[in-house]
Chains A and B, each alone.
Chain A
Amino acid sequence: MPLAAAISGLGLAGLTRDTFVAPAELARQAVVAAAGDAGLPVGAIDGLIVCRTSAANDAVLGLDLQRALGLRDLRLNRITLCEGASALAAIQLAAMAVTCGIANTVACVFADAPLARDKKTGAAFGRLKTSSGMEGLRYSAGLFGGAATYALSAARYLALHALDETVLADVAITTRRWAELNPGAVHRKPLTLDAYLNARMIAEPLRLFDCSAPVNGSVAVIVTSPARAVDGAQPPVHILASADGHPGVPDRAGHDRILTHGGAIAGPALFEATDLRPQDIDMGQFYDAFSILPLLTLEAYGFHPPSEGRLAYRDGAAGPGGSGMPINTGGGHLSGYYLQGMTPVAEAVIQARGQAGDRQVPGIRRILVTNDGGRFDYHIGMILGTTGG
């Protein structure tokens, strides 16, 4: 059964590096903003899906968001957990619920506040997630945080394809050019190759600007039926298709776990469901917590053959005024802001509506949005469109 759902509201809260507000309060503010954006009273929400970073627990952000919002008689109230893919997991579930008539107006919200008053970013993201089993050995090896494990993917990718770090630099620099045009982006100063190379090394080959820009903030969207969305306060953004891809690749010779991207599973499903091909996609809003990710996404989805994802960025092709498909037009996670899976969703909605100001790309009809979680363990892709399927 095809999805029949659309995003009718978008709400942002926080998106700051200076102020700490508790994630539950940021989430409440974002849901209120999303309802307002959709032209709805908060009480019109009959479904709520919360997603959060894997570092958080119920005390940080949980199902009691319902009470904070004063919502009564919800027909859906869930937490979705899929690491970095949680945002699209939530929106996909909302779209299914709306399609099946389980709920009519579902708010999906992600919130995080990693920059606590006295904590450095590394303290927030570099924590020990599990101390047991073979996965726990990553900490024995000193591989704390996403940067270290994605560095392993980047190092292997560059070595296998005999490429150098300028491939990653192209992603970071091109993405920064979009951020220069986005008043809401964290890093807006032009990034030269020298500045990229001279920034501090985090985990080789990843330098500072190969890693995302954390903020405290929240993004919420309202998912409803296409008919309700068309009658809403904003141009509807249709959910044309959504698909998961979780490779589960074994850790042994003959398999390539750290370079196997779930887009190779989700992509064919998305393109079949929509009768589209990669060349029909007008824009990519890809999960780019680390610069290696968009390259692997482009290759997994068939935009480029293996090792050639870099061609999407050559000569700024994916950047403002570039010759290729625009990618991460708000500055992505790298230069924009890191609110995990919701960052690409928010920018996709803004672009689809034609509300992106100086960075607006004209003539956008179909946008591929991707979310990645774990060590390429969890992936969800979604195609959004300005018109229904």
Chain B
Amino acid sequence: MSYDKLPVPDPDLASALFFAALDAGQLEIQRCARCGTPHLAVILCDACGGDVFLAERATGSGIIYSATRCHTVHHPAFADLAPFTGGIVELSEGPRLFAPLIGPGPFAVGQAVTAEVLRVGDRKLVAFRRTGATV
């Protein structure tokens, strides 16, 4: 299966550091320097109002917050993948993000998953695979 045509978002102000780190192959969180709340993309900490963040390399482990196997194709990149699974992963550090769920399923709520950085053209994307599933 090929993931090299998946759409990858452009960074915005809040997510600039996240995508810069990811494009360098690292999954990073931004931890509020004042209260410790973990974020992925942030300008102001919603918990304490802090605006200084410390980049921290994520372990890459997480659980599936939710997932759905999609049977309809709305974008050519997914034409050969359907049915494919997309979901929201909760990193062990706490933040959640949308991500493709790849490799053997099934992908159930609460399932442990591990990050895998995919190359998509000159960008990178983080996908997740069931923890322990063979590549």
Q: Which residues of A contact B (CB under 8 A)?
A: 122-123, 126-128, 130-145, 147-148, 151-153, 155-156, 159-160, 200-206, 250-254, 257-258
- B1-45 with Cβ < 8 A to chain A: 6-12, 14-15, 18, 37-41
The answer on a CB contact under 8 Å between B38 and A138 is no
Closest to A141 in B: B86
The answer on a CB contact under 8 Å between B68 and A252 is no
Give, as a whole number of angstroms, the nearest-CB distance from B44 to chain A. Answer: 12
* Complex-state Cα separation, A348 to B39, whole angstroms: 42
Give, as a whole number of angstroms, the nearest-CB distance from B93 to chain A. Answer: 8
Q: A134-B41, A151-B68 are in contact. Are A141 and B14 (CB under 8 A)?
A: no
Interface digits, B42-58 against A, CB 8 Å rule (1 contact, 0 not)? 00001000000000000
Q: A151-B68, A204-B68 are in contact. Are A144 and B88 (CB under 8 A)?
A: no
Interface digits, B68-83 against A, CB 8 Å rule (1 contact, 0 not)? 1111101100100101
Interface centre among A131, A200, A252, A258 (most CB of B within 10 A): A252
Closest to B10 in A: A132
The answer on a CB contact under 8 Å between B66 and A202 is no
* Interface size in chain B (residues, C-beta < 8 A): 46
Q: Which residues of B contact A (CB under 8 A)?
A: 6-12, 14-15, 18, 37-41, 46, 65-72, 74-75, 78, 81, 83-84, 86-88, 90, 94-101, 108-110, 125
Residues in B neighbouring A137, C-beta threshold 8 A: 9, 97-99
A-B pairs with the 8 shortest C-beta distances? A136-B9, A141-B86, A126-B74, A144-B74, A159-B109, A151-B68, A133-B12, A137-B98
Extra inter-chain contacts (15) besides given A142-B81, A202-B70, A251-B96, CB under 8 Å? A127-B74, A128-B7, A128-B75, A132-B11, A133-B12, A134-B97, A137-B98, A137-B99, A140-B7, A141-B86, A141-B87, A145-B72, A155-B68, A200-B71, A253-B95
